[in-house]
Amino acid sequence: MFKKIFTNTIGILSSRILGFVRDLFTASILGANVYSDIFFIAFKLPNLFRRIFAEGAFTQAFLPSYASSRHKSLFALLVFWRFFWIIALLNLLVVLFAPYVTKLIAFGFSDEVIATAAPYVAINFTYLIFIFCVTFLAALLQYKEHFATTAFSTGLLNISLILALLLFSKADKPAIVEALSWAVVIGGALQLLVHLIVAYKKGILKKLFIAAKFRHKAAQVQEDLKRFWRNFFPAVWGNSTAQVSAFLDTWLASFLAFGSISYLYYANRILQLPLALFAIATATALFPSVSKALAKGEEQRALRLFHKSFWFLLLVLTLSAIGGLMMAPEIIWLLFERGSFSRTDTIATSSVLRMYMIGLIPYGLSKLFLLWLYAKHLQSLTAKIATYSLIANIVFSVALIFPFQAAGLALASSIAGFVQFGYLLRTFEYLPSLWSSKWATILIAALLAEIVALMLLKSLVAPLMV
């Protein structure tokens, strides 16, 4: 199991390093202003769908149904075909009504800024078609216990964006935003190409082509399809709390001063590093094994895998959260403070980062508990929990936005994460079996060692920031 987690982690780490290089150039070239806000708004909607599909709902509803289907290839093909046309239609609607969609996701923007942003929203949304195809192939590769392609291929999107920034660094800011938008589409196409090549080598494409000849026998998988659709929509809602919270943050931040959306974006990017490296990598590697074990009635084996993953995640997420809280200004200074990104931007972004880091542990551990519920086909329960979490997010966002500005929105998101995690704990019938004195001792010792090391590092870095 840990070999799979390690493969995922290394792949995600390489992609995130490229992502930070991308953000470094973006901060230096675009800074934190109306143009950076426009690009982040344009990329927000397809990125929201990407995270829901690639990191959650589709895979977690698809894999259990696929594992238990007697006609796997036919089932997979029919799911893909229906989704593809739905997404293609959605993409067409966004392109045709881009100004209205832009107004919907950035309601606080003026009409002039909306008109400027709308074409970029239409371009960026095309990325969703590519990333759905990638997600579908990635799910089939996961079933075959192959994770490397998906983990490493995300870096292609970042490489595409970095090249666009380098090529257009001397251009005016509207031209840079347009170049970045097309780079998003190109990055999605490259990700799909890589997955097609690997799927061909693994024999997946061949099976799908054979299944296409038997589409007239769709009645054989109707029960599988019904179960998938019953699970999918609750799974979308149940796994989307963090993404919807981030989307809500952006929407509300459009009412604040220009730069607020960018502060949230840069801080959230840092939050996503440990979340992706550890929580998402672990859940992705664990999910096929747990699904197969539960499908075979091997609940104790599934529980042992869950137990190991829980303590691993609790350890690394706690260390990451403490590090982010203590070193937030230094992290932002090191990564972004250059060019158009000023000291004022560093201070504002570090405040937002601290508020996000408060929610790292509950959001990360929730990934594990959610996969357990998904593997047991309890998607409707996760949807109810997500609703409670989202209500908490909305209430606290409205309460905290004006006294604390962008940092208040980040804090509201973290509070919502605790609400979600609390409800998930209540649903886990094996909770007493998780606690281990050996692991608790290791965790406390590691925390004390990290705090001492961070205090020493902070004293060394502080003079450099003056």
pLDDT of residue 55: 52
pLDDT at position 2 over 60: no
97: three-class secondary structure by DSSP: coil
Total domain count, the chain: 1
Q: Measured on CA atoms in the order 348, 255, 126, 213, is the torsion positive or negative?
A: positive
pLDDT of residue 188: 92
pLDDT band at 213 (very low <50, low <70, confident <90, very high): confident
pLDDT at position 406 over 80: yes
Average pLDDT over residues 258-274: 85
Distance CA 110, CA 244 (A): 23
How would you classify residue 259: left for phi > 0, otherwise alpha for psi between -120 and 50, otherwise beta?
Answer: left
Q: What is the helix (H) or strand (E) element at residue 451, kind and residue range?
A: helix 437-461
Residue closest to 341 by CA, chosen among 23, 86, 20:
23
Confirm if 225 and 79 have CB atoms less than 8 A apart: yes
pLDDT of residue 392: 92
Confirm if 144 and 129 have CB atoms less than 8 A apart: no
Average pLDDT over residues 403-419: 89
Q: How far is CA 158 from CA 169, 280, 312, 453, in A?
A: 16, 19, 28, 32
Min mean pLDDT across 49-58, 188-197, 266-275, 324-333 is at 49-58
Distance CA 201, CA 197 (A): 6
Distance CA 101, CA 94 (A): 7
Tell me: the pLDDT tens digits for 82-141?
888 888 898 899 888 988 888 877 777 778 888 888 888 889 888 888 988 998 898 888
pLDDT at position 197 over 90: yes
pTM of the model: 0.69
Residues 6 or more apart whose CB falls under 8 angstroms from that of 20 comprise: 269, 273, 335
pLDDT band at 395 (very low <50, low <70, confident <90, very high): very high
Q: How far is CA 354 from CA 262, 271, 390, 392, 408, in A?
A: 15, 9, 21, 19, 11
pLDDT of residue 454: 63
Confirm if 28 and 341 have CB atoms less than 8 A apart: yes
pLDDT of residue 353: 93
pLDDT of residue 159: 92
Confirm if 370 and 382 have CB atoms less than 8 A apart: yes
Question: Whole-number mean pLDDT of the chain?
Answer: 81
Give percent above pLDDT 70 in the chain.
86
Tell me: the pLDDT tens digits for 141-150?
888 877 778 8
Which residue type sits at 58?
F
pLDDT at position 402 over 80: yes
| End-to-end alpha carbon distance in the chain | 46
**When comparing pLDDT for 211 and 236, which is higher?**
211
pLDDT at position 200 over 80: yes
Confirm if 76 and 140 have CB atoms less than 8 A apart: yes
pLDDT of residue 466: 54
pLDDT at position 257 over 90: no
**When comparing pLDDT for 379 and 325, which is higher?**
325
Q: Domain range holding 113?
A: 2-465
pLDDT at position 183 over 90: yes
Tell me: the pLDDT tens digits for 273-299?
888 778 877 777 777 777 777 777 777
pLDDT of residue 288: 73
Tell me: the pLDDT tens digits for 161-173?
999 998 988 888 8
pLDDT of residue 87: 86
**When comparing pLDDT for 382 and 432, which is higher?**
382
pLDDT band at 396 (very low <50, low <70, confident <90, very high): very high
pLDDT of residue 144: 82
pLDDT of residue 263: 87
pLDDT at position 195 over 90: yes
**When comparing pLDDT for 78 and 296, which is higher?**
78
Average pLDDT over residues 239-268: 77
Residue closest to 145 by CA, chosen among 8, 304, 302:
8
Which residue type sits at 425?
L
Highest mean pLDDT (candidates 12-21, 24-33, 265-274, 431-440): 265-274
Min mean pLDDT across 106-110, 239-243, 272-276, 411-415 is at 239-243
pLDDT of residue 307: 80
pLDDT of residue 435: 64
pLDDT of residue 457: 66
pLDDT at position 190 over 90: yes
Average pLDDT over residues 20-45: 79
**When comparing pLDDT for 462 and 134, which is higher?**
134
